[in-house]
Chain A
Amino acid sequence: MKTTTFKVWQGNSDGGELKTYEVEVDQGYVVLDAIHRIQAEQANDLAVRWNCKAGKCGSCSAEVNGSPKLMCMTRIDELPADKPITVEPMRTFPVVKDLVTDVSWNYEVKASIKRFSPKTADHEDGSWDMDQYDVERPQEFRKCIECFLCQDVCHVLRDHQLHDRFAGPRHYVYVANMEMNPIDTGDRVAELREELGIGYCNITKCCTKVCPEGITITDNAIIPLKERVVDQSYDPLARLIKLVKGSGD
């Protein structure tokens, strides 16, 4: 057991500051363990969100030494030992209290997106045939745990605060999962271009780098969606084909 110094941001929407705590750190400790220890022993009302503590629920997102991380999957022995560990709330969303931010905007954006709509079932029992090969792409996107770290790191949201016209990487992954589902019949291309503002993304791949699930957000979700937008919006031949098929937007 050794003692490590933590600087934890505490405050609310009116402001706050980094408070210093000395914490006894056990073998294998992750940052969330240390936060819990502070909570149990030194600051009972320290606000932090967490649920599973196993990297599956995406609740404990924060900025550890300035990097967007899940606190439950960030081992203390992998951080530099020679300086204090800082833990701050995600910067892209308004602070509620301490490490907890108001992420409700994400839920509003998702609810605004055209929902999944399946084709008629292939079998009488209501089931569909899908080939494993065809579902692997959308299955990658369905690994998303909605930790919103990709939203936190994206400069369109973080620096430019374009929350009103840009849905963010999480929601492109969400759209891609439906668009690439073999039984979905919805068409969200116009929505992507307009309300969801995919054009603002200039593929710096920051989102891919922070994704704790290892989803290749930019290459596998955003770029193919951008291509669809370009094809449907600007390719005269594709427009003609769509028109003839009767499914144009």
Chain B
Amino acid sequence: MTQHQVLEYDVVVIGAGGAGLRAAIEAAAKGASVGLICKSLLGKAHTVMAEGGVAAALANVDDRDSWKVHFADTMRGGHYLNAWRMAELHAQEAPERVRELEGWGAIMDRTPDGLINQRNFGGHAYPRLAHVGDRTGLEMIRTLQDHGIHEGIDVHMEVTVSKLLMDGGRCAGALAYDRERGRFKAFKAKAVVMATGGIGRAFLVTSNSWEYTGDGHALAYHVGAELVDMEFVQFHPTGMVWPPSVRGILVTEGVRGEGGILKNSEGRRFMFEDIPPLYKESTADTPEEGWRYVVGDREARRPPELLTRDHVARKIVKEVQEGRGSPHGGAFLDIAWIKEHIKDSEDHIKKKLPSMYHQFKELAGIDITKEPMEVGPTTHYAMGGIRVDPDSQMSTTVPGLFAAGECAAGLHGANRLGGNSLSDLLVFGKRAGEYAAEFAAGNTPVHLQDEQIDLAVQEALSPLERDPGADVGPYRLQYELQHLMQDKAGIAREEGGLTEALNELQELKTRAQAMGAGGSREYNPGWHTTLDLQSLLTVAEAVVMASQARKESRGAHSRLDYLDKDPEWGTVNLVLKKGHDGEMELRREVIPEIPEELQKIIEEQG
């Protein structure tokens, strides 16, 4: 038998970004004993990078806003593939989740009346994003961290989960190892909350940190959880493109919310062309009207730069493809131009967008108060993930396994609105924690099986026993995978490329399973990468398979061979599950009919 420590909790939360922390806080508040597993140090998770704000219909800036408008905006943004019940709960509960953060020490930017200020963002009808300059994610994760450390939660930092443990059909915990010494820990838990974030590291150009390797998606899938909407990967329209070392780093949508405009190499504001029919009525006709909207004129309509991310990203790609891109293959994003309207525009920009100012100044040598930025699409967010019950966030197929935040699916449908991820992780993090604690209280203890643990330990250790020189090494293999996904399953997809991608993924899988890692068990990132690769390859396969099946273009999923939306696909989600033979199986599932009162809200909001 292998050596491992056993740690027992009512609830184990895997992942310590916003969703994981919020879930842990809630589970502890409900009286559960809670273990929180962080892949990195506490407070460093990817939430820290969220910039623009958290969407909640507080109606502090525009009193016409309400949960109903937020709900309708979210559904429209998701092209109606969303789990409508999640969109409803999210819109209703987000305001309270945001307000309670200030009771835990957060300090959002204020309106002149002293209320929480809100800013414009793509796809939101009214100024809705509570924010702190452009570091809202940092404010949120720090607030949750500083509150959470006093709630009796056991925090396990730099610990990586390699397998979920099962007791019959029920999730019973997780096997993990600590990075510092490479010692194994078996977490025994009556309920497990998955909050591991996204999958961006499967792509070459991404705004995501090294942690974003789809661990939660893959771990849950391998114990029988369903994945849904995996074809929808959000390419954020504005990542940095130059110099090469910063390619993919996020440029907040807040730049456009504060009046930033997109221009091509001819100086034309190309976003005024090709406005999608769903948004025709609500988009400004002229730059002048767009600016009036930015400064709060209630009669004015949104500038086209604030259309949804899927559309803006595609428009930038089109400009580049047609030879009107910026020198390094992007478009120009200009905030400096607001000096035409604002007297002390330099100070204004530095105040509203301090980290953007800093980021461009330090890393690209550009002063955004004077010059335009060069931007292009970057892999940003997975709309797809673990399929869950909308109210409880429990997996549809694995009892005792819950999921929240980016690794769960449903809320965003085919495309996520900016600001809806921070509210997602608060609303559904809380719900997952609450229902996990309830599940733990209402169910019998679990049993861990030594054979399962032994097998998992052997699997995790196997890369260290193999020859590290036999292939290109774990980092280069990951790089090959990223190239493959970027080229063949990226922002523009077609049948041939996707078929090739599926075949090449099988080959990479075989190589990854034979991959060796040099060095010892102590703080060994090479070894860790061999384990990350297993998760990455599972989620990559899910993305490619679902992308190949959905023969239309909708939201974030663009097919060059099926350029238009197909109404037949408009009521269908794609669900993936591990088959009995271990192969990935895909099926179509019709979205449950939306209740009349919610349909009415959608219609009323146009």
Contact = CB atoms under 8 A, between A and B. Distances in A.
28 contacts: A27-B245, A28-B245, A39-B526, A44-B474, A44-B518, A45-B524, A47-B522, A50-B210, A51-B40, A51-B209, A52-B46, A56-B137, A59-B44, A97-B522, A98-B523, A110-B146, A110-B149, A111-B150, A115-B147, A121-B103, A126-B96, A126-B99, A127-B99, A129-B115, A131-B110, A135-B110, A142-B107, A184-B105
Given A44-B518, A135-B107, A53 B475 contact: no
A116 B476 contact: no
Nearest to A116: B105
A20 B338 CA distance: 49
A57 interface: yes
A92 to B, nearest CB: 16
A127 B116 contact: yes
Interface string A166-185: 00000000100110010110
Contacts of B100: 126
Interface in B133-154: 135, 137-139, 142, 146-147, 149-150
B132 interface: yes
Contacts of B245: 26-30, 33
Interface in A101-119: 102-104, 107, 110-111, 115-116, 118
Interface of B: 40-46, 48-49, 95-96, 99-100, 102-105, 107, 109-110, 112-116, 132, 135, 137-139, 142, 146-147, 149-150, 155, 157, 180, 209-211, 242-246, 249-250, 355, 358-359, 362-364, 468, 473-476, 479, 517-520, 522-527, 529
B475 A40 contact: yes
A122 B348 CA distance: 30
Contact of B107 (A27, A129, A139): A139
A177 B116 CA distance: 18
A229 B112 CA distance: 33
Contacts of A121: 103
Q: Which 8 residue pairs are nearest across A and B when measured between Cβ atoms?
A: A28-B243, A45-B519, A44-B526, A40-B475, A129-B114, A116-B105, A97-B523, A47-B523
Given A127-B115, A129-B113, A139-B109, 6 more contacts: A26-B243, A44-B475, A75-B362, A126-B99, A139-B107, A142-B107
A129 B113 CA distance: 8
A115 B259 CA distance: 39
A82 interface: no
Interface string A78-107: 000000000000000000111010111001
- Size class of the contact patch on chain A: 35 or more
A27 B46 CA distance: 26
A161 B178 CA distance: 27
Interface in A2-56: 12, 26-30, 33, 39-40, 44-56
Contacts of A51: 40, 44-46, 48, 209-211
B180 A96 contact: yes
A73 interface: yes
Q: Kindly name the residue among A27, A58, A142 whose own CB sees the greatest number of chain B CB atoms within 10 A.
A: A142
A52 B525 contact: no
Nearest to B151: A115
Contacts of B44: 51-52, 57-59
A4 B209 CA distance: 26
A78 to B, nearest CB: 9
B138 A145 contact: yes
A94 to B, nearest CB: 11
Contact of B359 (A45, A54, A58, A129): A54
B355 to A, nearest CB: 7
Nearest to A184: B105
A128 interface: yes
Contacts of B364: 28
Nearest to B351: A136
A116 B132 contact: no
Contacts of B132: 139, 142
Given A30-B363, A53-B209, A45 B525 contact: yes
Contacts of A30: 245, 363
Contacts of B110: 130-132, 135
Contacts of A56: 48-49, 135, 137-138, 355
Contacts of A63: none
A52 B363 CA distance: 14
A47 B524 contact: yes
Contacts of B155: 107
Contacts of A46: 525
A45 B520 contact: yes
A104 B155 CA distance: 11
A118 B103 contact: yes
A146 interface: yes
Interface centre among B102, B105, B210, B468 (most CB of A within 10 A): B105
A205 B364 CA distance: 29
Contacts of A96: 180, 522-523
Contacts of A135: 107, 110
A187 to B, nearest CB: 16
A173 to B, nearest CB: 12
Given A44-B518, A115-B150, A127-B116, A52 B523 contact: no
